[in-house]
Amino acid sequence: MVEPLRIIDFGRSSPLRSQTLWHAVAYGVSASERATLSFTRPAAPYVCLGYHRGTDEVDRDYCRDNGLLVLRRMVGGGPVYLDADQLFFQICLPARAVPASSRQALRVLLEPAVMAFRGVGVPAVLDEDLEICAGDRKICGHGAARIEDAVVVCGNLIERFDHEQAARVLAFDDRCQRDQTLALMRRFVSQTPVDPAAFQAAMIAAYASALGLGPQAGALTGDERTALVDLDERFMSDAWLGGATRSPAARTGKPTARQVKVRAGVWTLGASYDGARVAAGVVRGTIDQVRLQDRGLNGSTDRAEQALTGVPLLSAAQVLADFGDPGRRLARAFAMADPARL
């Protein structure tokens, strides 16, 4: 007899419940070992932080003034803007049914989603960075976690993507980096306006086939409802929102660069050193766009920016060596970049 794949369609949920519902499922799967594929769509826009990320990465004042709740999830990744034009999906399995390697687990649990995208006509691929893309554009945000004895991988169908808001809710020290982030989001993050019902059906078929399970409509159990109440309270608490970690700057007292990942290999950098300031967009290791500020550059700013554009990030110091003390200060700002930790 084929084991069931529990399917739960939560429909539209409040921002809070669009997170806590599937976290409750994870606790349920951990206890009961029933594989579950769930769906929900937030009824209102909000901002969601990955488990390890700092609240200082979000423009809290803007969010408050615009009625955007800020929540923290248990899965990884950065701060993201979420709204009703995104259909969330979550696949949750007992940990023993998932490869122990997190990369292998992600591959196994994202491949069916790729098949579902293809099933509705989107030429999706799972790239070497384990992102679901069409061409060079990311089309699905994902995150994953082991929650007790369950593994959950979540993602979204982005029917429409509000690039402006996605960049606006993030905190930046200067306008240049925000503009660069927005420009790169427009180039490298794409919406897929397909029929969500067809996508949902394709997802159920793809996951059931890949996991060898039989789809079966289900609902939260009593224990999951109890967990949901606890999660609602936890996720709205200041302690939970504050997070598990302090930023490296807070821990070490040393200034750090502001790095914003747009998709794998595409990110922006904002960094200052001794009055010099750099804002740069980086695409596959190459400086794609850059704005420089330094009191000593005088009329050389344009020339320095042009010299850096199209150059590997690792060669920035070499290029800036031609620009004297301002170049050395700017090189120190560039050196604060740490793309491995994006």
Kindly list the residues in this chain that would bind other proteins in the complex (CB under 8 A). 50-52, 74-77, 100-106, 129-130, 142-146, 244-245, 248, 251-252, 340-342
Cβ nearer to other proteins, comparing 84 with 241: 241
Rounded CA separation 67/83 (Å) = 13
**Which amino acid, residue 218?**
G
Rounded CA separation 17/20 (Å) = 5
Taking the complex as a whole, the smallest distance from the CB of residue 175 to other proteins amounts, in Å, to 27
Taking the complex as a whole, the smallest distance from the CB of residue 40 to other proteins amounts, in Å, to 19
Taking the complex as a whole, the smallest distance from the CB of residue 20 to other proteins amounts, in Å, to 17
Decide if 159 contacts 87 (C-beta within 8 A): yes
Rounded CA separation 169/321 (Å) = 36
Q: What interhelical angle do 17-32 and 222-235 show, nearest 10?
A: 140
The upper half-sphere exposure of residue 163, i.e. CA atoms within 13 Å in the direction of its Cβ, equals: 17
Cβ nearer to other proteins, comparing 218 with 248: 248
Rounded CA separation 214/208 (Å) = 6
Sorted by sequence, the CB contacts under 8 Å of residue 101 that are 6+ apart come out as none
Taking the complex as a whole, the smallest distance from the CB of residue 147 to other proteins amounts, in Å, to 9
Taking the complex as a whole, the smallest distance from the CB of residue 242 to other proteins amounts, in Å, to 12
Decide if 280 contacts 180 (C-beta within 8 A): yes
Rounded CA separation 135/137 (Å) = 5
Cα angle: 40, vertex 43, 47; to 5 degrees: 90
Strand order in the sheet with 69-72: 69-72, 46-49, 80-82
Cβ nearer to other proteins, comparing 150 with 283: 150
Taking the complex as a whole, the smallest distance from the CB of residue 78 to other proteins amounts, in Å, to 9
Cβ nearer to other proteins, comparing 317 with 342: 342
Taking the complex as a whole, the smallest distance from the CB of residue 107 to other proteins amounts, in Å, to 10
Ramachandran quadrant class, 33 (left: phi over 0; alpha: psi -120 to 50; beta: rest):
left
Cβ nearer to other proteins, comparing 72 with 168: 72
Taking the complex as a whole, the smallest distance from the CB of residue 195 to other proteins amounts, in Å, to 27
Cβ nearer to other proteins, comparing 132 with 319: 132
Alpha carbon separation from 41 to 64, 116, 260, 303 (Å, rounded): 22, 18, 25, 48
Cβ nearer to other proteins, comparing 65 with 128: 128
Rounded CA separation 157/147 (Å) = 23
Cβ nearer to other proteins, comparing 143 with 326: 143
